[in-house]
A and B are shown apart, each in its own frame.
Chain A
Amino acid sequence: MPNQTEYLRNREGSEIGKIVVDRDLCISAAACLTVSPETYELDGENKAVVIDPNAADDETLKMSAEACPTKAILLFDKAGKQIYP
Chain B
Amino acid sequence: MAEYKYLIIGGGVAGTTAAETIRKNNPDASVALVNAEPHRLYSRVMLSKPNIFLGKVPFEQIWLKSQDWYAKNKIDFLSGKRAVSLNTADKTVGLDDEQTLKYDKLLLAIGACARRLPIPGVEKQGIFYVRTLEDGQDMMQAAESAKHAVVVGGSFIGFEMADLLRQKNIDVSMVFNTEHCWEPVLDPASGRLVENILEQGGVKIYGSSEIKEIQGEDGVAKVVLKNGTELPCDMLIFGVGVFCPHEWLKQAGVGLKRGIITNEFLETSAPDVWAAGDVAEYRDLIVESQVILGAWINAQEQGKTAALNMLGQKQPFKKVSFYATHGFGATVACVGDAGPAPDRERVVRAMPEAKAGVQLFVKNGRIVGATTVNRPQDVQTIVKLIEGRVEVGDKLKELSDPKFDLKTLLAK
Give the distance in Å from the alpha carbon of A8 to the alpha carbon of B49 in the complex.
28
Give the distance in Å from the alpha carbon of A71 to the alpha carbon of B13 in the complex.
14
Give the distance in Å from the alpha carbon of A69 to the alpha carbon of B325 in the complex.
13
In the complex the two chains form, is A28's CB within 8 Å of B379's CB? yes
Give the distance in Å from the alpha carbon of A32 to the alpha carbon of B57 in the complex.
21
Query: With a CB–CB cut-off of 8 A, which chain B residues contact A27?
Result: 45, 49, 323-326
In the complex the two chains form, is A70's CB within 8 Å of B323's CB? no
Interface residues on B, range: 20 to 34
Query: With a CB–CB cut-off of 8 A, which chain B residues contact A44?
Result: 376-377
Of residues 22 to 58 in A, which have CB atoms within 8 Å of B's CB atoms? 25, 27-31, 34, 42, 44-47
Specify the chain A residue showing the minimal Cβ separation from B326.
A27
Interface string of B345-363 (1 = CB under 8 A from A): 0000000000000000000
User: Does any Cβ of B come within 8 Å of A67's Cβ?
Assistant: yes
Count of chain A residues near B, Cβ 8 A: 18
In the complex the two chains form, is B326's CB within 8 Å of A31's CB? no
User: Does any Cβ of B come within 8 Å of A66's Cβ?
Assistant: yes
In the complex the two chains form, is A31's CB within 8 Å of B61's CB? no
In the complex the two chains form, is A45's CB within 8 Å of B377's CB? yes
In the complex the two chains form, is A30's CB within 8 Å of B322's CB? yes
Query: With a CB–CB cut-off of 8 A, which chain B residues contact A34?
Result: 297, 300-301
User: Does any Cβ of A come within 8 Å of B67's Cβ?
Assistant: no
In the complex the two chains form, is A28's CB within 8 Å of B49's CB? no
Give the distance in Å from the alpha carbon of A70 to the alpha carbon of B49 in the complex.
8
In the complex the two chains form, is A70's CB within 8 Å of B301's CB? no
Of residues 52 to 76 in A, which have CB atoms within 8 Å of B's CB atoms? 66-67, 69-71
In the complex the two chains form, is A67's CB within 8 Å of B324's CB? no
In the complex the two chains form, is A69's CB within 8 Å of B380's CB? no
Query: With a CB–CB cut-off of 8 A, which chain A residues contact B43?
Result: 69-71
Query: With a CB–CB cut-off of 8 A, which chain B residues contact A28?
Result: 322-324, 333, 376, 379
Summed over the interface, the residue pairs from A and B with CB atoms below 8 Å come to a total of: 61
Query: With a CB–CB cut-off of 8 A, which chain A residues contact B390?
Result: none
Instruction: Report A25 CB to chain B, min CB distance, Å.
Output: 6
Give the distance in Å from the alpha carbon of A61 to the alpha carbon of B49 in the complex.
24
Instruction: Report A55 CB to chain B, min CB distance, Å.
Output: 20
Query: With a CB–CB cut-off of 8 A, which chain A residues contact B61?
Result: 71, 85
Name which of A27, A30, A45 has the most chain B CB atoms within 10 A of its CB: A30
In the complex the two chains form, is B379's CB within 8 Å of A46's CB? yes
Query: With a CB–CB cut-off of 8 A, which chain A residues contact B333?
Result: 28, 46
Query: With a CB–CB cut-off of 8 A, which chain A residues contact B269?
Result: none
Instruction: Report B214 CB to chain A, min CB distance, Å.
Output: 32
Instruction: Report B310 CB to chain A, min CB distance, Å.
Output: 19
Query: With a CB–CB cut-off of 8 A, which chain B residues contact A47?
Result: 376
Specify which of B44, B64, B297, B377 is in contact with A46 (CB 8 Å cutoff): B377
Instruction: Report B130 CB to chain A, min CB distance, Å.
Output: 15
Closest 10 CB pairs of A and B: A46-B376, A28-B324, A46-B379, A69-B43, A69-B45, A44-B377, A29-B296, A45-B376, A69-B296, A29-B297
Q: Name 16 A/B residue pairs within 8 A (Cβ), A-sorted.
A: A25-B49, A27-B324, A27-B326, A29-B295, A29-B296, A31-B296, A31-B297, A34-B300, A42-B380, A46-B376, A46-B380, A66-B64, A69-B46, A70-B46, A70-B51, A85-B61
Contact surface of B with A, Cβ cutoff 8 Å: 13, 43-46, 49, 51, 57, 61, 64, 295-297, 300-301, 322-326, 331, 333, 376-377, 379-380
Beyond A27-B49, A27-B324, A42-B380, 15 additional pairs, beta carbon < 8 A: A27-B326, A28-B323, A28-B376, A29-B45, A30-B297, A34-B297, A46-B377, A46-B379, A47-B376, A66-B64, A67-B300, A70-B45, A70-B51, A71-B46, A71-B61
